[in-house]
Structure 1
Amino acid sequence: MTSILIFMSSSPPRLRSGGIAGGIEICITFPTEYVKTQLQLDERANPPRYRGIGDCVKLTVQDHGLRGLYRGLSSLLYGSIPKSAIRFGTFEVLSNPMRDATGRLDNKGSLLCGLGAGIAEAVLVVCPMETVKVKFIHDQCSLRPRYRGFFHGVREIIRDQGVRGTYQGLTATLLKQGSNQAIRFYVMNLLRNWYKGDDPSRDMHPLVTALFGATAGAASVFGNTPLDVVKTRMQGLEAHRYKSTLDCALQILKNEGPQAFYKGTVPRLGRVCLDVAIVFVLYEEVVKLLNNVWRTD
């Protein structure tokens, strides 16, 4: 946590804004991420434990209390702050040279910059963060949970599998995050340009930003949930069953059918729409605030 605070205090305003937005967002939306991950790990090949979203929530609270819905939060919280900072920071660095004299970025540019931002966050933060999160959540299903906390879990994973153990499913994560951010920034930029029309300086009300963000989030969910399912399986405690990302996808298709690639879509849709809406609104508002507090010449 100390390293995150140092990172935030020494970063430019736009990096700080992305980090702050990411930290707040994950605290609000994590239970939906927990349910989505549990449903994706609940394979048809084994007797399914959950009959649906409500049943997953009910059994989790029954067995572990409300705190059970936040199992694995620490791994995402530690990662979400630098993840969002890297995402928005990379997007700004890549997009600045591509903007015209008015500051407008065309849709092709937003797609490419979003792809670059997604790949950067996948390699630097998301893959190890998601691996730890999935293992934590999967571990809770065990009769004798092994991990006692974030740092204990990380130590155990590295001790058993080395640093490579925190990079399981890297290919799937690169595909997921790259397509995620490419779709989100493309849709967001498309809607923003449409809204502003011929007046690039026109202000966007936070509610408009939230609506556009939720739309961008929904587009990314329907566009890449199959990649998210494969990534989750590749990072679970049973990842050793799969030879590669492709083998994982083929086994899911063979054993569970094509519909299995959309497991967890509803809770993911709820979380992602809220996630992207909150992050874009917070990012824009925090940028305004920090630009006033930390003025640069």
Structure 2
Amino acid sequence: MADSDFSVADSLQDILFGSLSGCTGKTIEYPFDTVKVRLQSQPHDQPPKFAGAWDCIRKTFQKEGIVGFYRGISSPIVGAAAENATLFVSYNIAQTAIKKHVLQTKDDLTIPYLVLCGGISGLVASYVLTPIELIKCKMQVESLYSNKTSSITQLCRAVWRTGGLAGFWHGQTGTLLRECGGSAAWFGVYEFVSFELKKLRLKRTPTSKDTNSVPELLISGASAGVGYNLSLFPADTIKSKMQTSSIINPEAHLTFISAAKDLYRHGGISIFYRGLGITLIRAIPSNAVIFFTYEELKKIFA
């Protein structure tokens, strides 16, 4: 995906193209994300509000209408732009660094190295993403457990009052684990599937173009989204529990370990995968669009 010599201009392009592709994908997936977070954040000391994903969709629509599925979207739209820009820039810079300083080559990297680059990009992105996801998750569940719907500014002030600047990185451990493992899988699966699909096509039709077709890009992106979410979904569940606990109980301030123990105590291993089905459903179209948009923009402006 990256050239051997990655310049400042390439970085600026990745920031722009990654931002645009991230915003597009987030708009598609956000209603599904709302359902996922609401399922993940249900308290254990009271009857669950939702029996499952479809029950959550039905009740959310009945109570809040379409708007309920998009509550708090402005924060993750910014987050999606920042996340994808950071991911693509970091991924390509990591490739260039490994080629230049580790392998001393200009050849394309093998899949294991691409997976490593993906993990590095996720590590960097996690620090950008945690504050944005913290506010997003709080907005997605607040109306379920209180009679108010705070603005982004009000929630930011509340976080500042209770935790200061460090409070915005509450849930960082979960985000870091999810992003490192997820991004390694995301880029690794994408690169592997896109390469194999192109190889199969060229084997059947040797005279065809040596670039991925639109269907190949969409299939590769969709596969990457599934790989990302299957890799470390429990870390995302723990993160959501941490970041929404204070909405349900203002006195609560869960750590990564205490949130994990609390979840396991009340639901065993299966509770860590609550909301996985709806997440995989959303991952297919949104990630297909993200990679397609990114690659097509690079072609247009190459």
Q: Does the aligned pair in 1 maintain the 2:41–2:245 contact within 8 Å? A: no
Matched, 1:216 2:224: yes
- The reply on whether 1:137 has 2:148 as its aligned counterpart is no
C-alpha contact 2:194 2:216 (8 A) present in aligned 1 = no
Which residue does 1:33 correspond to in 2?
33
Structure 1 equivalent of residue 262 of structure 2:
251
State the match for 1:113 in structure 2.
117
Letter in 1 for 2:32: T
Q: Whole-Å Cα distance in 2 between the matches of residues 230 and 119 of structure 1?
A: 18
Query: Which residue in 1 is equivalent to 2:131?
Result: 128
**1:231 and 2:239 are equivalent in the alignment:** yes
* Deviation (angstroms), 1:127: 0.5
What amino acid does structure 2 have at the position aligned with 1:137? Q
Partner Cα distance (2:33, 2:59) in 1: 16
Over aligned residues, Cα RMSD in angstroms?
2.3
Q: CA 1:243–1:59 in 2, change beyond 3 Å: closer, same or farther? A: closer
Contact kept? 2:189, 2:224, Cα under 8 Å? yes
Q: 1:167-206 deviations in whole A, cap 9, x for unaligned?
A: 111111100111110011111122233234498x811012
Question: Residue type matched to 1:131 in 2?
Answer: L
Paired position in structure 2 for 1:66: 66
Distance 2:136 2:119 in 1: 23
Q: Tell me the distance in 1 between the aligned counterparts of 2:167 and 2:141.
A: 15
Change (3 A) 1:91 1:185: same
The amino acid of 2:117's aligned partner reads C
1:241/1:155 Cα in 2 relative to 1: closer, same or farther (>3 Å)? closer
TM superposition shift of 1:157: 2.2
Give the corresponding residue for 1:42. Answer: 42
Deviation at 1:30, TM superposition (A): 0.5
**1:269 pairs with one of 280, 286, 292:** 280
More displaced, 213-222 or 131-140?
213-222
> How far off is 1:128 after superposition?
0.5
Q: How many angstroms apart in 1 are the aligned matches of 2:45 and 2:154?
A: 31
Shift of 1:86: 0.7
Instruction: State the distance in 2 between where 1:102 and 1:196 align.
Output: 21
1:164 counterpart SS class: helix
The aligned amino acid for 2:154 is H
Q: What SS does the aligned partner of 2:47 have?
A: coil
| C-alpha contact 1:242 1:248 (8 A) present in aligned 2 | no
| Aligned-partner Cα distance in 1 for 2:157–2:253 | 24
Count of residue pairs the alignment pairs up? 280
Checking the alignment, whether the CA contact within 8 Å between 1:138 and 1:237 is kept in structure 2 is: no
| Amino acid aligned to 2:189 | V
Task: Please state how far the C-alpha of 1:210 moved relative to its aligned partner.
Answer: 1.1
- Give ranges in structure 1 of 5+ residues lacking alignment: 1-8, 292-297
Letter in 2 for 1:73: I
- 8 Å CA contact 2:197–2:216 kept in 1: the answer is no
Q: Is the 8 A contact 1:45 1:255 kept in 2?
A: no
5+ long unaligned stretches in structure 2 = 1-8, 203-208
Out of 29-38 and 202-211, give the one that drifted further: 202-211
One of 154, 160, 163 as aligned partner of 2:162: 160
Residue 237 of structure 1, CA deviation: 3.2
- Residues 1:102 and 1:164: Cα distance change in structure 2 (over 3 Å): closer
Letter in 2 for 1:119: L
Q: Which residue of 1 aligns with 2:206?
A: none
Match of 1:181 among 183, 186, 192: 183
The one-letter code of the counterpart of 1:108 is P
Separation in structure 2 between the aligned mates of residue 28 and residue 197 of structure 1, nearest angstrom: 30
Structure-1 separation of matches of 2:195 and 2:78? 34
The alpha carbon displacement at 1:150 in A equals 2.0
TM-score, L = length of structure 2: 0.86
Q: For 1:289, which of 281, 291, 300 is the aligned residue?
A: 300
Partner residue in 1 for 2:205: none
> TM-score when scaled to structure 1?
0.87
